[in-house]
Amino acid sequence: MSNWTSSLIGLLVGLLTALQVGASTPADQLANASFSEKQTLIQTWIESDSSTALSVVQLLLDGRLYYEKNTNRLVLIDTHKTGQPLTDFATGQAGTIEKKRAYKRVSVNNTLRTFLRDTLAAAQLSDADPAVRLSSVQQMLGDLTPENADQIAKFRAQETDTDVVDLMDLALAIDRLDRGTPAEQAQAIARLADSLTVEAMNALRAVPANSPLASQARSGIQSIEHRRNRYKAVETLYFGLSLGSVLVLAGIGLAITFGVMGVINMAHGELIMLGAYTTFVIQQILPSQPGMALLISLPCAFMVSGLVGIGIQRGVIRFLTGRPLETLLATFGISLILQQAVRSIFSPLNRSVVTPEWMAGSWEINAALSLTLNRLYVIGFCLVVFFVLLTLLKRSSLGLQVRAVSQNRQMAQAMGVRSGWVDALTFGLGSGVAGLAGVALSQLTNVGPNMGQAYIIDSFMVVVFGGVGNLWGTLVAGLSLGIANKLLEPWAGAVLAKILVLVFIVLFIQKNPRGLFPQRGRAAEG
Amino acid sequence: MSMNKFVVVGLIAALVFVPLLNMLPETHALHVPTYAVSLMGKYLALAMLAVAVDLVWGYLGILTLGHGAFFALGGYAMGMYLMRQIGDRGVYGDPLLPDFMVFLDWSELPWFWLGFDQFWFAALMVILVPGVVAFVFGLLAFRSRVTGVYLSIITQALTYALMLAFYRNEMGFGGNNGLTDFKDILGFSLQSPDTKVALFMATVVALLLTLWMCHSVVQSRAGRLCVAIRDAEARSRFAGYRVEHIKLWVFTLSAAIAGVAGALYVPQVGIINPNEFSPINSIEVVIWVAIGGRATLFGAVVGAVAINYAKSYLTVEFPEIWLFALGSLFVLVTLFLPKGIAGFLKRKEALA
């Protein structure tokens, strides 16, 4: 009997299934379908009514689609608990969950989830917004299947946005490499070798070693790697420049107080810290406009640190003229007092300063290179501060007097320069610039009572390395030390790189005690 | 009574009376508890560091902001000996490797740990390592005539670089936890009160020897040359003296003294970690010297003990106040007491 009966039973089952399908809508079937049935169901559904089907796809991915166990009715539920609201999928009517157990989530497994995501991405290919189209191609690139490659090919013809076209071509090339004719494959390799993306590289790596195209693929990989490395070097340079700008910003105020006036101010780091805390306070006052607060804090930080600096000069340093080592000790004491003051007022914990929107994010130049905006702003800010200071010292009458006093105090006094007043203003200027550095630093690192100490040694190194009394030297020294640090980092690690740079400077000072650009002439003596 | 006599008499009195008073029954009014003995031992080890700094700053005019590094190097050498003495009593029970190495999955002892199971070797290293580092550093710095503030800043960079290096686990010195959990020294348990008193006495003797040695150096011809270099370096050079040589030898001697001070400090506090290298520690030593009185040697002892006592007291009773107090002390002393307590006493003597 076996053969005969089994085929009869098979026929009956088939008939029943067919009847059921004919009788109900796709929505009703979804509840009890197996994973593979769900997939075919959604596929056919999209062909008949794409907008409803796509909303179902989205709901399934979000895990918000449930069904009532008795009736197979589809409902939307946000929180699966007795008493919580629900919405009927078909009618949109609101209701409540009477019994938690009466509803069950429409289940999804990984294969199905991938399918759903691809389906959604394919649908987004026809979206009006180019950004949406771009991200959908990007999504498909992750795991390119023949199906969505066909989808991309379909939309490629009508695509107008160049970025999307590029990405689509890349996807198509990867697909052609996979299943095209040998001629197409060779073409695809040439196309992929032009790209910079990781996906292109992976696709080329997947070419089997025994294939006739293997050598072409290998040279393609090399070409990509070569160019990627070049961009990597540009990125390292950029990180180095941004670190260097921070060093220059931190050091340039010191270059004025130490370099021009010959005063060692160990509290310089704490003046930077005050600038950073000023930013924090102003953001607390204007919590809703972080960008505005940042701009306002620039002059405020300059004033706060500058006034504290003038206070230090008038109150302590003035009495220690000609005793550099004692000045060092006294200002170190002041740095301890300022640290503890901040700790007592703002707590010893780090404070977070908000980065305004226009400074967040990054500037993506191509697939291999993107530059973070906040660092770009810091580099620009550093250059602006530098050139303003340079002009001030070279062109203004204050600058003239400052230089006169620093070169020959007695002679300047004899010529009618009020040297005490010039000292105070110069010190205030250097301290104010430290405050500006603090504002910039608050966008890059934590604001805390110890942040000043972290920069004081670095700042001294920059000034001494560049040559005391020379603003250009400070700029060159800061930027080159920053770049050297970042170049060493990949193979030495961050801490060792820093140590190496320190050792290098110590050795350098032994060889050239007056820095990269030493002052010459009589002013250099002493 | 002059300050010198006061310090010497005080130290000898401490050497005799502290152990005696410690032996009194605990209920007795004059009993000195063992923890206080260790605390005093710690202060005196730091005083020794202050004497070392005074030798180069006071008499040679080199404001060193990195002497803490030599102190810590000596401390680490002693710490390595004490670590090896733990043997298989560590948490992991490895007979050869210290706990932190087992934790890092190291299979053998790094070469620079060899020999530290012998006390004589460790004692030699306590002097040799800081001495050699100072010698090389000084050779480079003095030969190229780096002076004044520049020298101060690169000494600070030296200790800062060492601190960063010792924080690295790969260095093989216990990373940021440092070396600790010591058990015994020369076979005597570090926990026992007798050992603690003995360590205190050793510290007092070492300090007395240091003072005697530095005093004779300062009183000698070389010492007078030091002062000459401090006050007019170029002139001394033109007079035909080898300024670099004398600077180098005094600097190295001072570093070796700092190393011994560190070695005496570590067993009494029971830990050594990279924080000892931090630049602020070295600067603090300078202020002890400044308060006691620069170029007096004995003043450095007074300054170190007084400030460290104040620190222990204030950080417990008024933790908020301590940095304010220390900071103000820096400012006030440099402004109003440029010659420190010793100078103040001398002025009073002269007036009387």
Averaged pLDDT, A11-24? 50
pLDDT tens by residue, B142-170: 888 888 778 888 898 889 989 999 998 88
A334 touches chain B (CB under 8 A): yes
Beta-bridge partner residues of A86 = A77, A95
Asked if A59 and A105 count as a contact pair (C-beta separation under 8 A), the reply is no
Domain around B70: 3-351
d(CA A373, CA A360): 6
Averaged pLDDT, A487-515? 82
Domain total of chain A: 1
Phi, psi for residue A86 in degrees, rounded to 5: -140, 165
pLDDT at A524 over 50: no
Query: CA torsion angle for B237, B239, B242, B243 (degrees, to 10)?
Result: -40
Phi, psi for residue A363 in degrees, rounded to 5: -105, 110
Work out the minimum CA distance from B193 to partner chain A, whole angstroms: 37
pLDDT tens by residue, A22-37: 445 666 777 777 888 8
d(CA B161, CA B274): 11
Judging contacts by C-beta atoms under 8 Å, the chain A residues touching residue B148 are: 324-325
pLDDT tens by residue, A167-226: 888 888 888 877 778 888 888 888 888 887 877 888 787 777 777 778 888 888 888 888
Work out the minimum CA distance from A270 to partner chain B, whole angstroms: 13
Asked if A456 and A294 count as a contact pair (C-beta separation under 8 A), the reply is no
pLDDT at A373 over 50: yes
A329–B287 CB contact, under 8 Å: yes
A231 CB burial (10 A radius; 0-12, 13-18, 19+): middle
* Confidence at residue A9, expressed as pLDDT on a 0 to 100 scale: 61
Asked if A31 and A106 count as a contact pair (C-beta separation under 8 A), the reply is yes
* Confidence at residue A6, expressed as pLDDT on a 0 to 100 scale: 58
The span from the first CA to the last CA of chain B, in angstroms, equals: 13
- Domain containing A379 — which CATH number? 1.10.3470
pLDDT at A165 over 90: no
Report yes or no on A403 lying in a domain. Answer: yes
pLDDT tier for residue A19 given thresholds of 50, 70 and 90: very low
Judging contacts by C-beta atoms under 8 Å, the chain B residues touching residue A329 are: 283, 286-287, 290, 330, 333-334
B167–A328 CB contact, under 8 Å: no
Which residues of chain B have a pLDDT value below 70?
Answer: 1, 352
Report yes or no on A110 lying in a domain. Answer: no
Q: Cα A132 to the chain's mean position, in Å? A: 22
* Confidence at residue A12, expressed as pLDDT on a 0 to 100 scale: 53
State which H helix or E strand residue A65 sits in. Answer: strand A65-68
Judging contacts by C-beta atoms under 8 Å, the chain B residues touching residue A461 are: 153, 157
A348 touches chain B (CB under 8 A): no
Which chain A residue shows the shortest CA-CA distance from B324? A337
Q: Which candidate in B142, B154, B162, B278 is best for mutational testing of the A interface (most A CBs within 10 A)?
A: B154
The sign of the torsion formed by the CA atoms of A352, A353, A355, A361 equals: negative
B335–A320 CB contact, under 8 Å: yes
Contacts across the A-B interface (CB distance below 8 Å) = 111
A337–B150 CB contact, under 8 Å: no
A339–B323 CB contact, under 8 Å: yes
A329–B330 CB contact, under 8 Å: yes
* Confidence at residue B273, expressed as pLDDT on a 0 to 100 scale: 92
Residue A118 to residues A158, A169, A497, Cα–Cα distance (Å): 20, 18, 45
Judging contacts by C-beta atoms under 8 Å, the chain A residues touching residue B338 are: 326
Within chain A, what is the greatest distance between any pair of CA atoms? 128
A457–B279 CB contact, under 8 Å: yes
Phi, psi for residue A104 in degrees, rounded to 5: -140, 145
pLDDT tier for residue A14 given thresholds of 50, 70 and 90: low
A333–B145 CB contact, under 8 Å: no
Domain around A333: 231-361+372-519
Q: Cα A240 to the chain's mean position, in Å? A: 15
Judged by phi (left if over 0) then psi (alpha if -120 to 50, else beta), residue A392 lies in: alpha
* Confidence at residue B242, expressed as pLDDT on a 0 to 100 scale: 92
At residue A344, what is the residue type?
A: S
pLDDT at A302 over 80: yes
Option in A325, A332, A457 nearest B157 (CB) = A457
B327–A334 CB contact, under 8 Å: yes
- Domain containing B191 — which CATH number? 1.10.3470
Domain total of chain B: 1
Question: How many other β-carbons are positioned within 10 Å of the β-carbon of residue A143?
Answer: 10
At residue B76, what is the residue type?
A: Y
Percent of chain A with pLDDT strictly greater than 70: 93
The mean pLDDT value of chain A amounts to 83
Least confident of A297-311, A377-391, A477-491, B140-154: B140-154
Phi, psi for residue A95 in degrees, rounded to 5: -155, -170
Which chain B residue shows the shortest CA-CA distance from A323? B334
Averaged pLDDT, A241-267? 87
Phi, psi for residue A328 in degrees, rounded to 5: -55, -45
Phi, psi for residue B212 in degrees, rounded to 5: -60, -45
Asked if A53 and A45 count as a contact pair (C-beta separation under 8 A), the reply is yes
Averaged pLDDT, A475-494? 89
* Confidence at residue A1, expressed as pLDDT on a 0 to 100 scale: 47
DSSP-derived pairing of the beta strands A85-88 and A74-77: antiparallel
Work out the minimum CA distance from B285 to partner chain A, whole angstroms: 11
Provide Rg for chain B, Cα atoms. Answer: 21
* Confidence at residue A295, expressed as pLDDT on a 0 to 100 scale: 92
A460–B153 CB contact, under 8 Å: yes
Exposure string over A441-451, b if 16+ CB within 10 A, otherwise e = bbbbeebbbeb
Work out the minimum CA distance from B227 to partner chain A, whole angstroms: 17
Exposure string over A238-275, b if 16+ CB within 10 A, otherwise e = bbbbbbbbbbbbbbbbbbbbbbbbbbbbbbbbbbbbbb
pTM for this one? 0.78
Judging contacts by C-beta atoms under 8 Å, the chain A residues touching residue B325 are: none
| Residue positions counted in chain B | 352
Asked if B39 and B316 count as a contact pair (C-beta separation under 8 A), the reply is no
A178 CB burial (10 A radius; 0-12, 13-18, 19+): middle
Between B267 and A360, residue with greater pLDDT: B267
Give the residue from A298, A296, A292 showing the smallest Cα distance to A357.
A292
Which chain A residue shows the shortest CA-CA distance from B336? A319
Which chain A residue shows the shortest CA-CA distance from B144? A510
* Confidence at residue A18, expressed as pLDDT on a 0 to 100 scale: 47
d(CA A85, CA A77): 7
Residues 456-475 of A with CB under 8 A from B: 457, 460-461, 464
Q: Which residues of B make CB contacts under 8 Å with A? A: 63, 140-141, 143-146, 148-150, 152-154, 156-158, 160-161, 164-165, 167-168, 279-280, 283, 286-287, 290, 320, 322-324, 326-331, 333-335, 338
Averaged pLDDT, A258-281? 89
B144–A511 CB contact, under 8 Å: yes
